[in-house]
Amino acid sequence: MSGAAGHPADLGGTSARRLDARVVSLIGLAVFIAASVIGVTSLGVPLSREVISLWVLTGLLAVSLADMRGWARGVIFDWLPFIAALFAYDALRGLVGNNPIFEPHVLPQIRFDEWLFGGLIPTVELQASFYDPERIAWWDVASWAIYLTHFFMVFVIAAVLWRLARPRFLEFRAMVLALAFSAFATYALFPAVPPWMASDDGFIGPVSRTIGGVWNYLGVKPAAAIFDRGSSFSNEVAALPSLHTAYPVLILCFFWSRGGWVRNLCLAYAVAMSVMLVYTGEHYVFDVILGWIYAIVVFFAVKAIRGRLARRRDRKESEADLGEANPAFPDPVRQP
């Protein structure tokens, strides 16, 4: 009787603990957001991989205060391998263009854009019509803001998935890493000059790197020198395919099945990033199209591989369960 009488109380205690955990998580999240706003205002926009990684892990800690052990396990087994792999990608990407065997390419992407647009280079035409370095317009600031999302959007989505649906996080993590290293393989074999650099060298008409102009106009200082030549966070000839395009397209593919406003929002983000990259002089249309192709191929390839591995694992588990349910008996001993 005591056990039966205590059961409702146990349920009430469990519900109370869950409510307390949610309250603690909400408070932690609020403090983290406030601290992030203060940090950006005083220190600048974080662009370096290590700063953003630390920022994400701190945010996850803030919403995991009621489960510190779970947070620690997640950092060790889920996040540190992910971050380490991306650091390795950054280090390798920094070597692109330094191999004399694979000189940076200039003309193939120019010729493709000219073929596709009747002899015109979209970046040159867009900047001639809409960009004035002496008068930064609202669309320049919007392009700058969209561009910056590249540095943290993947981490933010991964963090939300890890908190709410770890299996989906693991799938997304595999796709992000597969996409990054597929792009690196192309960078290494086919380094490519972006439009603003081709313009500086006289291959195409006037093109400005508008992102830098907006930085100066707004007076906002980045927390990392993203545009410095030789920076480990940027390599000017690692342009083909455009990972700035590929990541939003991967996000679109990943959430496509959700439909509704989620799909529309992801589609708008992918299209806006694609157009912005061409306008700002960061990429040719050729780079952007390849970014779409790489993201779509990687999405379906990882889906197929993980599905096959899951089916193989389920089959082995079923065979093991069947073996336990029907143990083999030894053959009868033959009598002489």
- pLDDT tens, residue by residue, 223-279: 434 443 334 445 677 788 999 999 999 999 999 999 899 999 999 999 999 999 999
> What average pLDDT does this structure show over 21-36?
81
Q: Would you say 232 and 87 are in contact if contact means Cβ atoms under 8 Å apart?
A: no
The domain segmentation of the chain, as residue ranges, is 100-312
Q: Which residue reads 């073929």 in tokens?
A: 115
**259 vs 48, higher pLDDT:** 259
pLDDT at position 253, please? 96
Hunting for tokens 């603003």 — which residue is that? 196
* Better-scored residue on pLDDT, 218 or 166: 166
Q: What is the pTM of this model?
A: 0.84
- What 3-state DSSP class applies to 222? strand
pLDDT in tens, 4-26: 445 555 555 566 556 566 777 78
What residue type is assigned to position 140 of the chain?
Answer: D
Q: Using alpha carbons, list the distances in angstroms from residue 182 to 85, 114, 127, 268.
A: 13, 27, 31, 25
Largest Cα separation within the chain, whole Å, is: 106
